[in-house]
Structure 1
Amino acid sequence: MKRNVIYRLIFSLLLTGAVAGCIKNDIPYPRRLGKITAFEVSGQIGEAVIDSTARTVAVEVADTVDLAQVRLVRFEMPDNTVSDPSPDDVSVLDLSEPMEFMLTTWPDQHYTWTVSATQTMERYIRVENQVRETQFNSYERQAVVYVSTDQPKDSIVITEMKLGPTGSVITPDFTTVHDFTSPQEFTTTYNEESEVWTVWVMQVEATLTTQDADAWAQFAYLYGTVPEGSASPGFRWRRADSDQWQEVDQSSVTVSGTSVSALLTGLDAGTEYVYKIYSDVQEGAEVTFTTEQAAQMPNMGFDAWNTTGGVVYPNADQNENFWWDSGNTGARLGGKTPTSQETSFLATSDEGNTSAARLETVNALIAMAGGNVFSGYFGSIQGLGAEVFFGRPFESRPLTLSGYYSYEPVTIDNVKPPSGVELPFDESTIAGQSDRCHIFVYVTAWDGPYRVNTTEHRYLDINDPDVLGYGELIDEVGTGGEYKQFTINIKYRESNRNVKPTYCAVVAVASQYADYFTGGIGSLMYVDEFSFGYDGDVIWE
């Protein structure tokens, strides 16, 4: 997915009516971007994540890799690009800290790239009659193992232990150590590097613990813990307004050590439920959860419009119904309205469908502008830049964004990007190609609307940890003058499991690169009858 979609959209919102707004490209030669196109190191897990916008390369490596001595396997760049340091000169990288490479292209254009590595070290200690997962303090190299109160501390039986990289050797042999009336020390050694760990054993009441659920609109992830060796653990659940308990199908239950989880489907949105963990005849405490609403944004069909202060808005009014905005505020200075109401050409003949949004790429005075619509609001023009706020409060996690769009692209005939900005396309070859439209959605945990200010060089970072899920549609072919139904799958990040959403941004634009004053004058897009979907499986990444 393009990492700078919001950045590109901002430029499409900016139109000025003065000579100061005319951005001139004073570079007389084609811009050749310095890019890393392929990267691999020894011990790498999966593919490298290469972000050409942020100029970063991120890799995950196995726990056996010494981050200070990572062997470089593959480093590829386009022709006529050189790197400092050169990959030919650095066969071993020190990735214990992010490492920078300066890429230079003709004629003397420089791009700084940052390469970083992450490493996950799995540690575990498993014993008989264990009642909770072992707690590790990696900084002080300490571990606490929890056993039931009827398990004597002088006769502990350790069944599994891993304290260091895969393949490391632990001494003494943990299967021979049983007396934990006082802490015991174990040394883990790998490649002649050793660490000493101190292990405590604590006795606690053997109980089944029902943990908080992660409830979506029509399903919920259930969690709990059981003592080690518990027989066939599972979950029972009911609606809060019912006395009838049901059991989660055992095929949906996963047991890992003392942790138990399950996916409960077929729930109703906005409904309170109760559940508890069980094993044999024992049960844990009851825990309640409420599913998210299967919420829709206001005016997702783009049926309500108003004109305020000479500017056309896709809202019933600019007060309590102010949800959507566009670049019309900036384009008005050039006497244009790229985003407007359409009442004749609609996606469906449904009684409630009275309007659609018409988005056209236009030449407004001295600059090109692509018609767009987004949930959020246009702040203000500031010099040659603008301040725009993306996203509206939204506390549900949809799985899809569906709707209809019609698109008639024309050939890209306006290529006037600003100087000093890295472009996501080849300026020397993009003219003559087909224009392309773009629809995308972000589900986030932002504290408020995301403020973007191009004057301050503040842009949306798709790698922001508060971005929970995203999805997009790009079309350069067109729909043949008709509406086409679409469904965008929203992919959620595994790293943000259990994080509740707070804001959502939905955006549509007629020319993907209009923010770079690049596109086809006359490219025409219509969008109609957008809606979120909540039924199905989560796509994790």
Structure 2
Amino acid sequence: MKVQIRLLSRFLLRWKIWRISRLLSVRWKDLERIIAWKRRRASLEIAPELIASCGIEKLLVTIESDSLLNRSGLPSSFDLANLDAETKTLLESIHFPMPENIKGAKDELSFDLTDMSNALASYDDKIQMHRFTFTVRDAKTQEQSVSFSYSVKPNVAVITKDIAAINIWSTFTFFSGESDSNDGLGFEYKKVSDSEWTLVDVTSKNADGKTFSVFRKGLEPKTAYVYRAFSSDPDGNRVYGNEVEFKTDYANADDNNNPFVPNLGFEDWSTIEKYSWSANAGETEVFWGSGNKGANTAAAITGVHNPTAPEETTIISGKAVKLASDEVFNVLAAASLYTGYFKKTDGTNGILSFGRPYVGRPTQLTGFYKYISGSINIAKSDCPDGVKKDDPDQCHIYVALCTQEYEIRTKASNRNLFKNDDTVLAYGELISKESVSGDEKNGYKKFAIDIKYKPGSENKKPTHILIVATASKYGDYFTGSTSSVLYLDEFELQYDYNPASFVGTSLEGLGE
């Protein structure tokens, strides 16, 4: 003999002011039905069958709903065939059906969920999802399960919607609301710590005719805000929706103001293994690296200067970076600085680790630079782009937001240079083929590199950042000029909305 458990749900809702009706979404296997009520009686019956061939031994119900569990005090799972008194009382408070004599039952059982559904609909002023799973086990420990969900829309005139975490940037985000009214639409927002609200008007609804939204910039990083949607009732009175809190993303500092990318001003320097300069405060925490470790060591023998070193004269403030390419043992040592570390040498070649762990989504890298471009006097035959001797050397500064770090090899037989592949979410660069001297202090010129996000990558978050600067762009191929010098100072990551960062993405053209 088999037992069939039928889950029956009938609903009656009446036409209400503003035509805001509750919405029920029931999922059974791959079936999704959405029932809305408008001036009529509507009912929905779902009758999935759970079979207990030898009678019910256990009927486990699992609930996935933070709001329901928090308010009712119910456990997240319970056995209807073996209920204790406390759980039974809690189930009665939400009108959960509890047929008698479930354990050992061999006849059909039906669960009428109408009263419970109406109770769920009055729980919150936000859209709530309540998921239930029924698992039946018979005396031979055979099990079957069925799951369904209630998506309950509150009976209010205006709904303020939660903001997806991926849409909350450091200084901008999206507000979204829903209302049956087409008049007086807008939002108000403020810092949680403030008392005054800032008004944002909305001229029309979105294409779906239900929701309305607005792009908002000018927010402060890592700051708690609250916002609410509003519309007008038939008498022209403003009606507010629920309040939603959110916190903007980080800029270049955590909650304790520790920078994610340290020493962007290049004030801190130390020495590693006696001869090599390091743009880090100490030897233990290395964020910035140089590809010139071998050249720096050789400098102690040959008397040649260190290609990467601190600069205290040609500066904007404090100290700067001086990258001066040179020749060591008849090989070009292209002066470089990058976020990462030097792993080891392979003869005269290098193996580097590019990229360091990072939290944030910047839109620009700004700073100051001054460049002296020499004529290329060392060139290898495998250098790309037709670069040859006597061509002007080029400086190169670039930034990439990535989802991993990279091992970079410069040996020709197994060269693995940085690639703009799928793990790179955003990228920006500056290349100069000529000497650069600007109007800033000591002849520096201010630069701003747009960090350009790939289509689709605006919906992802990087885990690593790569910032690279070199006086000789083709130094990876040991090609460049021993006369090239690049000065750098006062780098800074920017987080404001930048139109150039989002061309071709879903964020293109916003806020203009």
TM class, shorter-length = 0.5 to 0.7
- State the partner residue of 1:205: 153
Give the Cα separation in 1 of the matches to 2:407 and 2:205.
41
* Structure with higher helix content: 2
More displaced, 204-213 or 353-362? 204-213
Measure the CA separation in 2 of the matches of 1:278 and 1:284.
9
**Pair 225,480 (structure 1): closer, same or farther in 2 beyond 3 Å:** closer
Cα offset, 1:339, TM superposition? 0.6
SS in 2 for 1:504: strand
Q: Give the gaps of 5 or more residues in structure 1.
A: 1-127, 155-201
Q: Mind listing any 5+ residue stretches in structure 2 that lack a counterpart?
A: 1-18, 43-149, 233-238, 254-258, 504-512
CA deviation string 1:267-305 (max 9, x = no partner): 222211122334443514523223423546322122221
For residues 136-535 of structure 1, the aligned pairs below 5 Å read 146=34, 148-150=36-38, 205=153, 208=159, 210-213=161-164, 214-222=167-175, 224=176, 226=178, 231=183, 233-250=185-202, 255-257=206-208, 258-280=210-232, 281=239, 283-284=241-242, 286-295=244-253, 297-309=261-273, 310-320=275-285, 322-332=286-296, 334-335=298-299, 337-346=306-315, 348=316, 353-382=317-346, 386-418=350-382, 424-427=384-387, 430-444=388-402, 446=403, 448-453=404-409, 458-464=416-422, 466-480=423-437, 482-535=443-496
Tell me if structure 1 keeps the 8 A contact 2:292–2:334: no
Counterpart in the other structure of 2:106: none
Distance 1:468 1:275, change over 3 A: farther
Q: Which residue of 1 aligns with 2:93?
A: none
**Cα distance in structure 2, aligned partners of 1:391 and 1:131:** 50
- Secondary structure at the aligned position of 1:477 is classed as coil
Q: Closer, same or farther in 2 for the Cα pair 1:226/1:143, shift >3 Å?
A: farther
Rounded Cα–Cα distance in structure 2 between residues aligned with 1:454 and 1:254: 56
- Separation in 2, partners of 1:221, 1:520: 49
Between 393-402 and 508-517, report the one with greater CA deviation.
393-402
Residue 319 of structure 1 and its aligned partner are, at CA, apart by 1.9
Alpha-carbon shift at residue 459 of structure 1 (Å): 4.4
After TM superposition, give the deviation of residue 153 of structure 1 in Å: 9.9
Confirm or deny: 8 A CA contact 2:354 2:406 kept in the other structure: yes
Contact 1:215/1:292 (8 A) holds in 2: no
* Closer, same or farther: CA 454–415 of 1 in aligned 2, 3 Å: closer
Secondary structure of 1:255's match?
A: coil
| Contact 2:436/2:445, CA 8 A, preserved across alignment | yes
Note closer, same or farther for the CA distance 1:233–1:435 as it changes in structure 2 (3 Å cut). same
* Superposition deviation, residue 259 in structure 1: 4.6
Cα pair 2:202 2:213 within 8 Å, conserved: no
Distance 1:473 1:303, change over 3 A: same
CA distance in 2 between partners of 1:205 and 1:484 (Å): 57
Which of 1 and 2 has higher RCO (CA within 8 Å, sep 6+)? 1
Secondary structure of residue in 1 paired with 2:361: coil
Shift of 1:366: 3.0
Change over 3 Å in CA distance of 1:266–1:145 after alignment to 2:
farther
CA offset at residue 230 of structure 1? 5.5
- The residue number in structure 2 matching 1:107 is none
* Aligned residue identity for 1:525: L
Normalized against structure 2, the TM-score is what? 0.59
CA 1:517/1:149 → structure 2, altered by over 3 Å: closer, same or farther? same
Shift of 1:512: 0.7
TM-score by length of 1: 0.56
Range moving further from structure 2, 486-495 or 359-368: 486-495
CA contact (8 A) 2:472 2:484 kept: yes
> Aligned partner of 1:506: which letter?
I
Q: Is the 8 A contact 1:210 1:287 kept in 2?
A: no
Q: CA RMSD in A?
A: 3.6
Give yes or no for contact 2:289–2:338 (8 Å, CA) kept in 1: yes
SS of residue matched to 2:456: helix
Q: Residues 503-541 of structure 1, C-alpha deviation per residue, up to 9 Å, x if partnerless?
A: 222111001111112222211111111122234534303
1:151-202 per-residue CA deviation (whole Å, 9 max, x = no partner) reads 7699xxxxxxxxxxxxxxxxxxxxxxxxxxxxxxxxxxxxxxxxxxxxxxx9
Write out per-residue CA displacement over residues 451-493 of structure 1, whole angstroms, 9 at most, x where no aligned residue.
Answer: 33457655433132x4332211111121259321212122223
Q: Distance in 2 between matches of 1:146 and 1:385?
A: 64
Distance 1:502 1:254 in 2: 36
Amino acid at match of 2:307: P
For residue 495 of structure 1, report the CA deviation from its aligned partner.
Answer: 1.0
CA drift of 1:359 comes to 0.7
For the pair shown, the structure with the greater C-alpha radius of gyration is 2
8 Å contact from structure 1 (residues 129, 229) kept in 2: no
Q: Residues of 2 paired with 1:152 and 1:477: CA distance?
A: 77
